[in-house]
């Protein structure tokens, strides 16, 4: 009769073999994502190591502060300037051919307002200092609603109100303004991203089939210090422009008794801290603030493989 201990050991080894074989198969089957040659692997992994032990609020403050002074993304800036000089007529159109993501836009050197927030969240949410299998997969999870499928442009969370809903469902954050007595509820039809279009608003679009529900604190409540903002919250500037929910986003930071907007500024061409009250008072189309509190309780992200693609 076989020794019981040996039988248990054999069964355990068999189970582990099956587990590792399944893991290897899952990795081999993971979709491939294009990536520019990364030059910030060591920096990202060191930052994850330094931040991981901190409480969530402090982690967001720490990582967002680390990136102060980084440059505004030149491609985003050029596109916005081009659009301001010669507005492109919007065309509602559908296309049955989905447009894939050619490469993942990631950089610790050049960031715009949305990718700045997303990179901070991805770094802060990373469980271990592993650039590809942890940080990049987290970044994809924050940026896209792809569910482990190949990345397509229409699965990018382009609009901040929808971005917030998706990342709340995943466990990255919670909507502070939803159903708050001081908040305003609003429904609007977003210029939904069609399967054929790229990231940018000058391309074709589809009007959403149903309205997007959003909640925000009016500027008056924020200036009166009645909105329940906490340092480290993600904030987004609500606009009254047709087909859009917000025009800008960043982090709410409290420092030495001051209330700051920490953001990637296209005007100053870098990531900066600015007085939040002055920014809101000077904004022509700012109606209020959406507010999302980071929780960083998302499950392990879907696995992707990465392949370096040459720059054009």
pLDDT at 9 over 60: no
Question: Distance from CA of residue 225 to its chain's centroid?
Answer: 27
Q: What's the CA gap between 99 and 122, in Å, rounded?
A: 25
Q: What is the pLDDT of residue 199?
A: 42
More confident residue, 6 or 302: 302
| Domain boundary assignment for the chain | 1-30, 34-308
Q: What is the pLDDT of residue 204?
A: 47
Residue-wise pLDDT tens digits, 96-133:
567 788 899 999 999 999 999 999 999 999 999 999 99
pLDDT at 41 over 60: yes
Residue-wise pLDDT tens digits, 229-261:
999 999 999 998 777 899 999 999 999 999 999
Q: What is the pLDDT of residue 1?
A: 47
- Do residues 71 and 110 touch, judged by C-beta distance below 8 A? yes
Question: Distance from CA of residue 293 to its chain's centroid?
Answer: 13
Q: Which of the 8 DSSP states describes residue 133?
A: I
Q: What's the CA gap between 69 and 254, in Å, rounded?
A: 18
Q: How many CB atoms lie within 10 A of CB 216?
A: 29
- For 256, counting Cβ atoms within 10 Å of its Cβ (0-12 exposed, 13-18 middle, 19+ buried), the class is exposed
Average pLDDT, the chain: 85
Rounded to the nearest 10 degrees, the angle between the axes of helix 41-51 and helix 56-66 is 150
Taking the model in full, what pTM does it have? 0.85
Percent of the chain with pLDDT over 90: 65
Q: Which of the 8 DSSP states describes residue 154?
A: G
Quote the tokens at residue 265: 């500024």
Q: What is the pLDDT of residue 86?
A: 59
Phi, psi (deg, nearest 5) at residue 260: -120, 155
Q: Which of the 8 DSSP states describes residue 203?
A: S
- Do residues 263 and 99 touch, judged by C-beta distance below 8 A? no
Q: What is the pLDDT of residue 241?
A: 79
Q: What is the pLDDT of residue 87?
A: 56
End-to-end CA distance of the chain: 68
Confidence of residue 27 (pLDDT cuts 50, 70, 90): low
Confidence of residue 20 (pLDDT cuts 50, 70, 90): very low
- Do residues 215 and 177 touch, judged by C-beta distance below 8 A? yes
pLDDT at 297 over 90: yes
Across the range 141-162, mean pLDDT stands at 91
Could you tell me the sign of the dihedral formed by the alpha carbons of 77, 83, 84, 86, in that order? positive
Residue-wise pLDDT tens digits, 46-103:
999 999 999 999 999 999 999 999 999 777 766 666 665 655 555 555 555 677 888 9
Q: What is the pLDDT of residue 147?
A: 93
Domain range 34-308, its CATH number among 3.10.350.10, 2.60.120.310, 2.30.260.10, 3.10.310.10: 2.30.260.10
Residue-wise pLDDT tens digits, 172-191:
999 999 999 999 999 987 76
Q: 277-286 — which CB contacts under 8 Å span 24+ positions?
A: 277/222, 277/223, 280/219, 280/222, 280/223, 280/237, 281/219, 281/223, 283/237, 285/239, 285/240, 285/241, 285/247, 286/219, 286/237, 286/238, 286/239, 286/247
């Amino acid at each position: 009769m076989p020794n019981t201990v040996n039988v248990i050991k054999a069964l355990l080894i068999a189970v582990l073999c099956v587990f590792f074989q399944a893991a290897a198969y899952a990795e081999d089957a993971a979709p491939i994502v294009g990536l520019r040659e990364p030059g910030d692997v060591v920096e990202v992994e060191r930052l994850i190591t330094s931040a991981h032990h901190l409480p969530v609020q402090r982690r967001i403050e720490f990582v967002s502060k680390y990136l102060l002074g980084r440059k505004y993304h030149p491609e985003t800036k050029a596109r916005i300037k081009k659009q301001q000089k010669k507005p492109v007529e919007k065309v509602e159109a559908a296309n049955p051919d989905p447009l894939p993501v050619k490469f993942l836009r990631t950089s610790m050197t050049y960031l715009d307002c949305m990718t700045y927030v997303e990179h901070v969240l991805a770094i802060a949410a990373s469980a271990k200092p592993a650039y590809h299998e942890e940080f990049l997969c987290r970044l994809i999870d924050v940026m896209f609603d792809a569910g482990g499928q190949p990345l397509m442009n229409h699965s990018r969370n382009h609009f901040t109100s929808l971005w917030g809903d998706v990342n709340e469902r995943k466990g990255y954050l919670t909507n502070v303004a939803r159903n708050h007595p001081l908040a305003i509820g609003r429904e609007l039809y977003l210029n939904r991203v069609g399967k054929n279009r790229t990231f940018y608003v000058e391309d074709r679009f589809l009007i959403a089939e149903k309205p997007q529900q959003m909640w925000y604190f009016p500027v008056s409540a924020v200036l009166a210090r009645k909105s329940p903002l906490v340092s480290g919250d993600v904030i987004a500037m609500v606009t009254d422009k047709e087909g859009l929910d917000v025009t800008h986003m960043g982090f709410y930071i409290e420092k030495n008794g001051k209330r700051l907007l920490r953001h990637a500024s296209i005007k100053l061409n870098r990531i900066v801290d600015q007085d939040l009250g002055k920014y809101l008072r000077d904004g022509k189309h700012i109606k209020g603030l959406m507010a999302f509190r980071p929780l960083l309780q998302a499950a392990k992200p879907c696995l992707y493989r990465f392949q370096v693609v040459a720059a054009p």
